[in-house]
Amino acid sequence: MKSIDEQIWDYIDGTCSPEEKLDIAAKIASDQEFNLAYQEMLQVHQLLDAEQLDEPSMSFTRNVMELVDLEIAPVALKTKVDNRIIYSIAAFFGIAMLAILIFAFANASYTMPEFKLPKMQLSFDFTPYVTPLSIKIFLFVDVVLGLFYLDGFLRRKLSAK
């Protein structure tokens, strides 16, 4: 339950709902105590609204610029790393891998020797672990991860506006 003060400040700031606004306006019109509190708060609000900003000294901008001139010029972080350097490194490793692959294929003998796969005893039975409960847990974790992703995606979209 909001106090009278909170209701009136919300009314003055315009942060209440249309229904609350009508309700408070009616109270201001009918209740003398409410009206008195409203008048007081409104005058504080108007006084604050009309308040002038303080003015720094005349040399303020000059002083700041003198200090700023001693600093290293700022650079946008995304341009600090030159993309060409990244591409050069990627190209070097790409070419190196390609060269190794070509060399390996060029020197490979394509005759298939006769060999047998070693026999492995894989008798592990997964069926006891695949229960309705484990499937539900798996799906629940997937849904939670999906919601995390959706939340992050929507936040990014909102901040981009």
Partner 1 sequence: MKQELSDLALITIILEGDTAAYAQLVKRHQRFVFTLAMRFAKSREDAEEIAQDCFVKAYRALGTFKQDAKFSTWLYTITYTTAMTFLRKKRLDTASIDDEGGAIQLENHISDYNANGYEKASGHAYLNQAIGLLLPDDAAIITLFYKGEQSLDEIGQTLNMESNTIKVKLHRARARLKEKLQYLLKDEVKELI
Check binding of 9 to partner 1 (CB under 8 A): yes
Write down the least CB distance from residue 104 to partner 1, Å.
45
Check binding of 114 to partner 1 (CB under 8 A): no
Check binding of 48 to partner 1 (CB under 8 A): yes
Residues 6+ apart with CB under 8 A from 63: 57
- ∠ at Cα 61 (55, 63), nearest 5°? 115
Q: Fill in the DSSP letter of residue 56.
A: -
Dihedral of CA atoms 57, 58, 62, 63 in degrees, nearest 10, equals: -20
What ranges in the chain are assigned the alpha helix state H?
4-13, 18-30, 32-49, 60-69, 77-80, 83-106, 132-160
**Segment interacting with partner 1 (CB under 8 A) among 20-28, 68-76, 89-97, 119-127:** 68-76
Pick 43 or 131: Cβ nearer partner 1: 43
**Segment interacting with partner 1 (CB under 8 A) among 51-59, 86-94, 98-106, 118-126:** 51-59
d(CA 103, CA 95): 12
Find how far residue 11's CA is from the centre of its chain: 32
**Segment interacting with partner 1 (CB under 8 A) among 18-26, 55-63, 130-138, 142-150:** 55-63
d(CA 117, CA 115): 7
> Which of positions 118-137 make contact with partner 1 (CB under 8 A)?
none
Pick 59 or 109: Cβ nearer partner 1: 59
**Segment interacting with partner 1 (CB under 8 A) among 50-58, 105-113, 122-130, 146-154:** 50-58
- Judged by the rule CB under 8 A, the positions of this chain that interact with partner 1 are 5-6, 9, 15, 40-41, 43-45, 47-57, 60-61, 63-65, 67-69, 71-77, 79-80, 159-160
